[in-house]
Amino acid sequence: MRSKTILFIMLSLGINNDFFAQSGLTQVSGFGSNPGNLNMYTHIPSGISSAAPLVIAMHGCTQNAGMYAIQSGWNKLADRHKFYVVYPEQLSTNNSSLCFNWFDTLDVNKNQGEALSVKQMVDYMTSNYAIDPSKIMVTGLSAGGAMTVVMLAAYPQIFNKGAVMAGLPYKAATSSFASFSAMNGSVIKTPQQWGDLVRLQNPGYTNPYPHLAIFHGTLDFTVNSNNALELIKQWTNLNNADQTADSTINSFQGNAAIVKTVYNDNLNNPVVYYYKITGMGHAIAVDTGSCPRKGGATGTYAIKENNFHSTYWAADFFDILTSPYLITGAISLFENATNNVYSVPFLAGSTYTWNVPPGATIISGQGTNSITVNFGTSSGNISVTETTSNNCVNDVAELFVTLTAITSIKSITTEEAILYFSKDDNSITTKGINLIELKSIKIYTISGQEIIQNYSIQGNKIIFSFTLKTGFYIISLSNSENTYNVKIAVI
């Protein structure tokens, strides 16, 4: 085996097997031909009953898989939200400082060396567990962060998203000598040049490239934070976006040290996130504790940042965090629907922070477990975050609400059809519409909320199995050619 020089100047942490006793990891052998000569460790949560996400998490130099599992806190999130984690591990026979060889063309090109070994770990998981193929993610710190970008570049058809902690762009260096200039932030390229280095790995690939989240400290003297800016160039170019931030959040989540910028593609979808962490050195940011958004453990390369746990926000970016409970309320309404109630279970002492789509207004209930909303014309998420009495901030619960324009109503004239509602048998009598040809029959309140109903058809009658209260309703009748939305009055 070839041995590599030390490429990240770090203090030795005295790696030992105690980390594995604490980490909850299981070693897997025989996962493939393993041309990169890596170890594979897994964390398999109990209670996974359907296809679940997979996260590949790669350690930094002088670390091992168990150490990174404990410091990053990925296992805690996996247990809570039910996804699998794989920890590739470097061997000293490959690199004397235990760095993944992100700079060596024998290890970073598609289907070669360490890149292929990690890909074979993914293949092992998809062959032996029910993995959601749309949610295979990769993340890592330092050399593991650089190797994260290698996997996204070599296998964009496999990975959906990546999160880089203090890493570098793909092929920022292609030799051990050149790696020092790259780490110092001295390698500058145009977005097109950076993007082309990735595109050469998969000539003819036309599908979307993975999205990327970048986490980097401004006082990183091991991997200069200029690399974060070069990563932005590379992955915005690959994702049809420019290099101008579309949104900036200062004091993210109330933390003055965190600035989050988001870059959207040409369809206005967010594709690259950058979390700039002021004052932090070469490390991952953790926020130790037992609350849902806290986790990890401090160490030489894991620094406590108040109210900011980078692993949690990487998982949030990956969209693999499950809602703590369901929001009840209508999911399909007409535009400008009023007095719509949304609720979550009540917990004594908790406060609830709600957010609504653009143009919507919370007219009552903010701070409580139940709100009343007047909508505008934009569909979007109703979301709520619970803060418990012991000041724990829970995971976000979301419900997407689709709004439909009432202007799409097609009036039915007396020449076309007649709809007559009878309270005697809760029926609508029709004329001019063949009920047998109807594909759907729906009924909405005048505010646009769909009423769940059962009905039967008898001749030219639609008979409902429930009683309509006095008021106005919209009946929606659809056949293969038209949808007729008709306003009726129940008096």
Find the range with the poorest average confidence among 21-30, 35-44, 90-99. 21-30
Q: Is the pLDDT of residue 412 over 50?
A: no
Give which of 226, 90, 69 is closest to 139, Cα–Cα.
69
Contact 164, 82 (CB under 8 A): no
Longest CA–CA span in the chain (Å) reads: 88
pLDDT digits over 91-108, tens only?
A: 999 999 999 999 999 999
pLDDT at site 21: 58
Three-state DSSP class for 261? strand
* Contact residues for 386 (Cβ-Cβ < 8 A; gap 6+): 324, 344, 347, 350, 351, 352, 393, 394, 397
Say what the alpha-carbon torsion angle 274, 279, 281, 285 is, to the nearest 10 degrees.
Answer: -60
Count Cβ neighbours within 10 Å for each residue of 67-94 and write b for 16 or more, e otherwise.
Answer: bbbbbbbbbbbbbbbbbbbbbbbbeeeb
Query: What structural domains and CATH numbers belong to the chain?
Result: 18-318 (3.40.50.1820), 332-406 (2.60.40), 409-490 (2.60.40.10)
| pLDDT band at 419; cut points 50, 70, 90 | low
Q: What are phi and psi of 145, to 5 degrees?
A: -70, -40
Summarize pLDDT for 54-82 with one digit per residue, the tens: 999 999 999 999 999 999 999 999 999 99
Round to whole Å and give the CA distance between 137 and 149.
11
Q: Is 142 a catalytic residue?
A: yes
> Average per-residue pLDDT in the chain?
89
Which among 142, 179, 310, 427 is annotated as catalytic? Answer: 142
The pLDDT of residue 232: 98
Provide the pLDDT confidence category of residue 429 given band limits of 50, 70 and 90: confident
Residue reference for tokens 């998490």: 57
Burial zone of 366 (CB within 10 Å; 0-12 exposed, 13-18 middle, 19+ buried): middle
Tokens of 60: 């930094």
Dist. CA 273–CA 284, nearest whole Å? 16
Q: Go through 164-202 and write b for each residue having 16 or more CB atoms within 10 A of its CB, e for each that does not.
A: bbbbbbbbbbeeeeebeebbebebebebeebbebbbebb
User: pLDDT tens digits for 313-337?
Assistant: 999 999 999 999 999 999 988 888 8
Confidence of residue 455 (pLDDT cuts 50, 70, 90): confident
Give the C-alpha separation, 350 to 84, whole Å.
Answer: 31
Q: Which tokens belong to 275? A: 């979390």
Q: What pLDDT, on the 0 to 100 scale, is given for residue 466?
A: 74
